[in-house]
A and B are shown apart, each in its own frame.
Chain A
Amino acid sequence: MKQAFSRRVSIVGVGMTRQGAHGDADGYALALQAFRGALEDAGIRDKHRIDGLLGAKQFDGSGIDPVLFSRVAGITPSITGALDYATAAFTLHYGAALIASGACDMLAFVYGRNPPGSMVELSGAQEYDLVHGFFNAAAVHGLSWVEHMHKYGTTTEVLGRIAVQSRRHAELNPDAAFREPMTMDDYRNSPSMIWPLREYDVCRMSGGAAAIIMASNEVARDCAKMPIDFLSIGREATHALERGIQMSFSPERRAAKQLYEAAGIGPQDVDVLFPYEATTVAAAAALENYGFCEPGGCEAFVGDGSRIGINGELPMNTHGGHLSGGYLIGLTHHVELVRQLRGECGPRQVPNAKVGLYASGGGIRAQFYHAATLFARGDWNA
């Protein structure tokens, strides 16, 4: 996407369950609860106004099938769909394009899961290569961070600062999954898992659900809350690992360029940043690749962590992110982003937040994809 959308698209409602332990609750039951919350948040009394429904599945098969969810919720959206690589931005961009084209007027993205091993097992379980024992999505992030340390002389201290700051934010968020206080010493003493990554660098499984309702800007005027607009999107993909791609996060720089050029703003205009972080590495990479500091500069930028805190220069993942908030394919990031721009975040509210950036990257079948969105409240440039 080289342009902002031609028809303005807004998020008009968000809903979310508490993230964490949910006993034997079914993912669809949690998703229904989140969907109800999003409809109420948008002030939509008639559920049949939803004419597009998107779901998402994880590699382990958990998640939401949109056709099945339609039956659970008793709705008949004319367009349903789910992408192969479906984390939040990828699916929301697809949904936004359906609205921008006029194919849908009001579209919901609904997701929920309550996986086995919730609160205990590390997230990202994947078997890439059974000849060589290449397991877990965090391994790819580890390969990137080893390159980063080698090239720039960075250390894991910056990753620890990010993990600790995420936990501080989660302590302020009653819906976060992991809220026990954590210090840098806790981080340094946490077991090494896939060197250079420690257990606290990798998010854990948890249960929960979230729903996002999007609408055209005209329809959004009827909704209860302040609409949050898509300003622009940025996308990039790379060839597979076998083509010798180094620094698997660096193509984000091209996504960032599209994003800022289409919106006509720069990183200095971003009030709050939401990197999709399966590991701390992704958050560190986003700081560099989306232009908040120079390549190699993330450790100096993060410093003692206060800069990415609620009252810092660049508040980051104010809900606790995936690391402490709970992994939900980037959807809790969007719920928090919308609430921050509306000013609803109470003790963790970023003062006067008007522009938010969500940035995500990830690998599938050894190719890497990056997707980012700039969001703003209507009066952002007033």
Chain B
Amino acid sequence: MPERTRPKPKNRFEQAYWDALARHQLSLQRCKGCGFVRHPPGEFCPECWSGEFEWQPLSGTGSIVSIIWYMKSLDARFPEVPYNVALVRLTEGPALISNVVGSAFGEINIGDPVRARYCDETDFTALLFEKGSAG
């Protein structure tokens, strides 16, 4: 198993993001000024600079923008290969880096639908994805 390390939250908005993941809920900030859904979390909307927002629970669905496979371990904390790193575009807009679990090399490609899979570590919950459509 990889030894996943959560980054230290840089602000209270990032803390709230991780707290939601611990409840197995992906939530991002939706700007009340212009509707933009932002990631990573922060105080102001990077589009209109409004500080007004609401946490919007997301569907957790998305699709693969691109995916690479580590065939050789580059770090002792991720010893098992192959494993993938994917850029996933969420249905609601933003894209994020994650892993698609449960699919072998060659079984997951650009454009494939994926859905959130929450992975509980000892002190936080990681947002991973698996191949498949909603629910």
Query: Hey, which bits of chain A sit against chain B, CB under 8 A?
Result: 122, 125, 127-136, 139, 142-144, 146-147, 150, 191-197, 241-246
Contact = CB atoms under 8 A, between A and B. Distances in A.
A143 B65 CA distance: 9
Nearest to A134: B85
Interface string B59-80: 0000001111111101101100
A101 B126 CA distance: 51
Given A132-B97, A191-B71, A242-B96, A147 B39 contact: no
A132 B126 CA distance: 8
B57 interface: no
Contacts of A135: 70, 74-75, 78
B16 interface: no
Contacts of A243: 94-95
Contacts of A142: 68
B75 A132 contact: no
Nearest to A147: B66
B4 interface: yes
B71 A129 contact: no
Given A243-B94, A244-B65, A244-B94, A133 B89 contact: no
Nearest to A246: B65
Interface in B97-117: 97-99, 105, 109-111
B7 interface: yes
B66 A143 contact: yes
Would you list the 6 A-B pairs with minimal beta carbon distance, nearest first? Answer: A244-B95, A133-B78, A195-B69, A130-B5, A142-B68, A192-B71
B95 A241 contact: yes
Contacts of A130: 4-7, 77
26 contacts: A125-B74, A128-B97, A129-B97, A130-B6, A130-B77, A131-B127, A132-B85, A132-B99, A132-B128, A133-B4, A135-B75, A139-B68, A146-B66, A146-B67, A192-B71, A193-B71, A194-B69, A195-B68, A195-B82, A241-B95, A242-B94, A243-B94, A244-B65, A244-B89, A244-B93, A246-B65
B75 A133 contact: yes
B87 interface: yes
Contacts of A191: 71-72
Contacts of A147: 65-66, 110
A193 B72 CA distance: 5
Nearest to B5: A130
A192 B5 CA distance: 26
A143 B95 CA distance: 13
Nearest to B111: A150
Nearest to B125: A131
Interface of B: 2, 4-7, 39-40, 65-72, 74-75, 77-78, 82-83, 85, 87, 89, 93-99, 105, 109-111, 126-128
A321 to B, nearest CB: 22
Given A193-B72, A244-B93, A133 B99 contact: yes
A246 B87 CA distance: 9
Contacts of B96: 242
Contacts of B71: 191-195
A129 B110 CA distance: 21
B29 to A, nearest CB: 12
A158 B86 CA distance: 23
A15 B27 CA distance: 54
B66 to A, nearest CB: 4
Contacts of A122: 74
A127 B74 CA distance: 10
Contacts of A128: 97
Query: Could you say which of B82, B110, B127 has the most chain A C-beta atoms within 10 Å of its C-beta?
Result: B110
Contacts of A129: 85, 97
A134 B77 CA distance: 11
Query: Could you say which of A132, A136, A150, A195 has the most chain B C-beta atoms within 10 Å of its C-beta?
Result: A132
B116 to A, nearest CB: 13
A127 B7 CA distance: 11
Contacts of A196: 68
A144 B65 CA distance: 10
Contacts of B99: 132-133
Contacts of B128: 132
Contacts of A242: 39-40, 94-96
B72 to A, nearest CB: 5
A4 B69 CA distance: 43
Contacts of A241: 87, 95, 97
A10 to B, nearest CB: 40
